[in-house]
A and B are shown apart, each in its own frame.
Chain A
Amino acid sequence: MGALFGAAMLAAGAAAASVPDVVGYGARSSALNGLGSADDRGYESAWLNPAGLADAKKMRFTVGWVQGGSSLRLDGADRPTEATSGAVIGSAVPLPFTGALQDRAALSVSLYFPRKVINHALAPFPDVARLALLESRTQVVSVLGALGVRITPRLSLGGGINALATLLGQIKLQPDAGNHIVSTVDQKLDWAISPLVGARYTASDALQLALVFRGAVKSQYDLRITSNLGTLLPIGVPVLRVAGTSQYDPAQLHGEAAWRLSPALVASAGATYKRWSDFPLPTENATARTPPQPETGFHDTVVPRIGIEWTAPWGSRTFTARGGYRFEWSPSPSDAPTLVDANRHVVSGGLGLTLPVAQGALQIDAFAQWHELAGHARASGRYLAAGATVGIDL
């Protein structure tokens, strides 16, 4: 998994982002349109709010699948994009300390793993228009590690990391004695670690509050190619620099409240500040004399979300229905020449079923999400994602 997780976690390519940021992480959170920071207590907390892990009561492992596709248009033409397709694997592991640490801490190692790739770097030439935040945005593995600790009966804190890699390299080309091209390569994949920290406060039996900070997830590449092929080629090859940013989720500050309106009904609302103004150029110029590219001009955004969850007993089982909405304000200027993006209305829904098993429960959840692009003269279309998970207590 090393070169799995390694491996897992490599990067190269175009400015894009991850499934947790686009769709959400886990079937419950995705059905609630990214909400759950205030009341989730399972593996989804690894992304939503690590403090929520402190409420995990049983060790649970969850597996699932997410599938998505889009129908997008740019400048009046269809714009094909890669389908979202990948596995969700999540764990919530309460740490059974005794004494002063009893029932206080839990950890999670969770990931989203695309079916075909670990990362897809796709960046056209800088002067080619593209849908900057939707093309191949979900083609990257997300690996999350988190720990939550209950500080007081009402307050929990948590922290975690989201790790990607930065590719650095140097290549030298030169002739050998037989007039073949030979080379030496020095390549290194270095760490790019992003923090996740969160707090959860139980204000009353009916109200829970959450505040979460997610650091920017930024994976870059920077390769320099030098050559000394003067005896083989009649022309020189310049020093080439192939560099840019392959994956980018902006830094985020998310606040949320969850109200238990009745024993069966919980309503949630939240807002996420996203620092898109730090969005970097997807590709840098390859040679020093190439005229500089214009800045992206992206601006910060706030994304409001609402969600509702209704739970009802069904014999020895429990049935749950969920729904949510968010407005994903586009960070791209409306007159952006190449890095085009549009506002999105996102509607979501889902179902859940809890079945008792020998010593715990079997939890089955499913969700669907509809993203509709709106209010842009050049960009339009929709993106649809759906998925399901199965979790079991050990």
Chain B
Amino acid sequence: MRALAIAAALCACAARANPIDTFGLGSRAAAMGSAGTALGGDSSSTYYNPGALLDAQTLRLDVGYRYARPHLRLDGAAFDADASQAILFGITAPGRIGPLRVAFGLSLAVPPEGLVAVKTRPFDSPRFPSYENRLHRLYGAFDAAVEIVPGLSVGAGLTFLSRTEGGVALEGVVGVTNAETSTLTSSIDTRLVAVRYPQAGVHWKAWDGLSLGLTYRGSYTLRLDTALRIDGNLQDPGYPPLVQNGYFAVQTHVVEMFQPMQLALGAALRVSPTVLIAADLTYARWSEMPAPKPLTYTLDVGVFNPLIKIEPPRVYPDPGFKDVLVPRAGLEWRAHDANGLALDVRGGGSFEASPVPEQRGESSFADGHKATATAGLGVEAQRPWGLLAGSAAIDLNLGATWMLPRAHARDDASRPGFRATGLVWQAGSTVRLKF
């Protein structure tokens, strides 16, 4: 199977981080520029700040949907990038264990078009690391939180991903003059190994109306470590073997995905009974992004050995990404609140500097600074139809991210540079039930 990895091994790593980093989780925080570190109140705390899970006083269920469409341009031409969708499910369950207030949270963002989609390209081909494989990936997190003292809670949890290791072996006969006459069978020994990375957070209701939050998200690198081996004779049907017991073996080590360590500091301040403002500052350590490792191969095809023209494995340069600080801000205004029905209007924005250096050498990462504007509405009904002791709310969010135009000139004048820009739209809706 991991012949698959051959390919990946020979090209640049592609996937970076996950879709929640890009679009946020849940409609309320996403509409507020994803400045959610100090917000709390629903299952999106599993991502923004596990310590804020205790902001929920009763059982809560969240169900939603998110759609995003990148419109990317490379040298003025449209660049093919798939839309990203996710079905969202979250649960926040507060309770007590003895004297302790505790809460558990679970969030899932499930792409309906498939769990994971990965496209890799040859190292020299320009690609958008922020908007290709990054958007097509299942996300899930499980967290727990405990109240240390009234108003101060800590939470932590794990996010699970997988990496692949193992290999595929094929044996039989490979046709010499016509490869399609080959008769091969396969065996497989491949493991999807669990990769766990932690997230943790502290949430403090400093005083009435002000909440502070600090969140840590661990880094991870998903690799495809794979082997492919073909053993057998080189032989045409009806003829004796030209080569007996030849083989071709390749070992690959591919970076499929990298997420930087992140540290987010946030504050949420209720400046009046109807207005809440939130702000976050996130540090992302992109400088740890690894370079692809070269593949290694061996082969013995007997009399054909002198005719092989494959060059030694290519060594890839360090990508040289830079750490970044991402500011985010959001606002929520309760525009109407009467007769058990409330209307919230939300807005926000963020600015994410690109971690990608100018592409003067061999690599071709097309990325630029990204400015995002968001908006949304929320309608909340108390005790709807007498079925809930709490409330039911429906939130809508819209967002647009503009990747500022950026041109890359090569040191080697014989290699063409490139210019990249793009606009990414997103929309979503979440239904929240408070029991």
A residues contacting B by CB (< 8 A) are: 1-14, 59, 61, 89, 91, 93, 95-101, 109, 113-114, 116-128, 139, 141, 165, 167, 169, 171-173, 176, 178-191, 221, 223, 225, 231-240, 242, 244, 283, 285-291, 357-359, 392-394
Contact = CB atoms under 8 A, between A and B. Distances in A.
B4 A7 contact: no
Given A93-B59, A121-B166, A233-B308, A287 B184 contact: yes
A288 B94 CA distance: 57
Interface in B187-211: 187-195
A189 B311 contact: no
A235 B99 CA distance: 73
B387 interface: yes
B180 A113 contact: no
B177 to A, nearest CB: 8
Nearest to A12: B190
Interface string B164-199: 101011111011101111111111111111110000
Contacts of B179: 235-239
A4 B162 contact: yes
B162 A122 contact: no
Nearest to A94: B59
Interface stretch (B102-110, B353-361, B403-411): B102-110
Contacts of B91: 93, 109
A93 B93 contact: yes
A2 B46 CA distance: 13
Contacts of A288: 180
Given A100-B387, A185-B118, A233-B310, 15 more contacts: A2-B138, A3-B160, A4-B138, A5-B110, A5-B138, A98-B386, A114-B194, A120-B192, A123-B187, A125-B169, A183-B7, A186-B118, A238-B184, A283-B185, A285-B184
Contact of A61 (B94, B104, B184, B186): B104
Given A97-B435, A232-B309, A289-B182, A169 B234 contact: no
7 contacts: A3-B115, A93-B93, A97-B388, A99-B387, A183-B9, A233-B309, A290-B172
Which of B170, B182, B385 is most buried by chain A, counting CB atoms within 10 A of its CB? B182
Contact of A118 (B61, B171, B192): B192
B137 A231 contact: no
Contacts of B181: 238, 289
A109 B106 contact: yes
A231 B192 contact: no
B222 interface: yes
Contacts of B180: 238-239, 287-289
Sorted nearest first, the 9 A-B pairs with minimum C-beta distance are A394-B95, A1-B140, A4-B160, A236-B179, A183-B7, A2-B138, A3-B161, A234-B307, A2-B139
B192 A11 contact: yes
Contacts of B158: 1
Interface stretch (B119-127, B260-268, B423-431): B119-127
Which of B91, B138, B141, B385 is most buried by chain A, counting CB atoms within 10 A of its CB? B138
Contacts of A123: 187-189
